[in-house]
């Protein structure tokens, strides 16, 4: 799945989340402004991408580094916050895994 299709799926989010595209470009090192694919060579690299996407989501939600640093001691010890963080990463990884056909070799669909 191309990254721009993933972004289009996010269009139901509030207006402030549209800057998420900018951060996704940064995550993928897109200096030329083109959207890259969600495809990665390995599941490990896919998981790393999922983590970076989640981190960038936090930066979009709270752009102030100072405030994020102030809040970190609170949420880093809160089990509900940690579970929610894991869920966000898992959702991103699920999308990336599907975009990569779960890293299986391609086989034709007979149906």
In a domain, 110, yes or no: no
State the average pLDDT over residues 99-110: 78
In a domain, 111, yes or no: no
- Domains in the chain, number: 1
- Domain membership flag for residue 34: yes
Residue 108 falls inside a structural domain: no
Q: Which residues contact 43 (CB under 8 A, 6 or more apart)?
A: 97, 100, 103
Residue 98 confidence class, pLDDT cut points 50, 70, 90: very high
Which domain covers residue 94, as residue numbers? 3-103
Rounded to two decimals, the pTM is 0.64
Tell me whether residue 109 is in a domain.
Answer: no
Cβ–Cβ under 8 Å, residues 43 and 97: yes
Identify whether 39 is part of a domain. yes
Q: In this predicted model, what pLDDT tens digit does every residue of 49-97 receive, in sequence order?
A: 999 999 988 998 999 999 999 999 999 999 999 999 999 999 999 999 9
Do the domain assignments include residue 55?
A: yes
């Amino acid at each position: 799945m191309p990254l721009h299709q993933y972004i289009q799926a996010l269009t139901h989010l509030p207006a402030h989340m549209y800057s998420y595209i900018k951060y996704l470009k940064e995550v993928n090192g897109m200096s030329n402004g083109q959207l890259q694919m969600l495809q990665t060579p390995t599941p490990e690299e896919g998981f790393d991408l999922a983590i970076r996407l989640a981190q960038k989501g936090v930066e979009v939600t709270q752009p102030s580094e100072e405030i994020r640093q102030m809040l970190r001691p609170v949420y880093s010890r809160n089990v509900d916050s940690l579970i929610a963080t894991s869920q966000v990463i898992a959702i991103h990884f699920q999308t990336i895994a599907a975009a990569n056909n779960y890293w299986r070799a391609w086989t034709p669909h007979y149906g």
